[in-house]
């Protein structure tokens, strides 16, 4: 029995074929394809052993991780945004783990393969050694995210508060810091648009520093991911 024939989600829960893939949660399609319409990546013609799919929001963008596992050959293949990152055609041991880094942010990710019963396996994803839920909880404390549209183009801007690095649509931006009367400003440009992130003290210990994105003198509301 192939791994692709058991309707188990990547998080160990039964999943329906073609169900919507939630962020940081695996969903397994027993038909061996991603969602009702198949994989959206044209160069991946067939994923007969596709067992789990996750979507994870990182500083450099939202990434799709797909995992193939063959229980007859032990094959393991990891794709990130449709690009093959790991391929192992023959593995005598069906359980174990695969570790890799995700795109420009070089975030460490691990897929754990555990036996449930017989030829049924459970697949879980860890990001920086944390479960997706714990990772997202921690990320909400260390980053700010804004989503906006400029000139018909959508932008996702992320501030990493510990390093003050700014990412825009997967690219780390060149920034210039400036001290102002009530805090600091981190300036950068998006196309022809002038942007800066202002950091001021909230005056409250629990809230700490408040970061606000200003684009063309307009304040952008923070997004919740």
pLDDT digits (tens, 9 = 90+) for 169-221: 999 999 999 999 999 999 999 999 999 999 999 888 777 899 999 999 999 99
**């400036």: which residue's tokens?**
178
Rounded CA-CA distance 46/105 in Å is: 29
Assign a CATH topology to domain 3-129.
Lipocalin (2.40.128)
Q: Where are the domains of the chain?
A: 3-129, 142-220
Assign a CATH topology to domain 142-220.
Lipocalin (2.40.128)
Domains 3-129 and 142-220 share a fold: yes
Nearest to 66 by CA among 106, 95, 39, 101: 39
pLDDT score of 46: 58
pTM to 2 decimals? 0.75
Mean pLDDT, residues 140-169 taken together: 96
pLDDT score of 119: 75
């Amino acid at each position: 029995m192939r791994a692709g024939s058991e309707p188990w989600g990547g998080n160990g829960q039964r999943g329906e074929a073609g169900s919507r893939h939630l962020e940081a949660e695996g969903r397994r399609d027993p038909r061996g394809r991603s969602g009702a319409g198949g994989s959206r990546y044209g160069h991946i013609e067939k994923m007969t052993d596709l067992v789990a799919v996750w979507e994870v929001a990182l500083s450099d963008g939202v990434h799709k991780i797909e995992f193939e596992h063959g229980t007859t050959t032990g094959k393991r293949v990891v794709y990130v945004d449709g690009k093959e990152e790991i391929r192992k055609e023959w593995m005598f041991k069906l359980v174990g783990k695969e570790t890799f880094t995700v795109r420009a942010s070089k975030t460490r990710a691990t897929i754990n393969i555990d036996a449930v019963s017989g030829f049924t396996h459970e697949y879980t994803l860890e990001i920086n050694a944390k479960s997706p839920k714990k990772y997202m909880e921690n990320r909400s404390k260390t980053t700010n995210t804004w989503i906006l549209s400029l000139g018909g183009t959508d932008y996702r801007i992320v501030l990493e508060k510990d390093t003050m690095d700014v990412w825009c649509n997967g690219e780390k931006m060149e920034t210039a810091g400036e001290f102002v009367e009530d805090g600091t400003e981190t300036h950068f440009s998006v196309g022809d648009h002038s942007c800066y992130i202002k950091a001021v003290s909230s005056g409250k210990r629990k809230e700490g520093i408040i970061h606000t994105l200003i684009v063309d003198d307009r304040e952008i509301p923070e997004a919740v991911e």
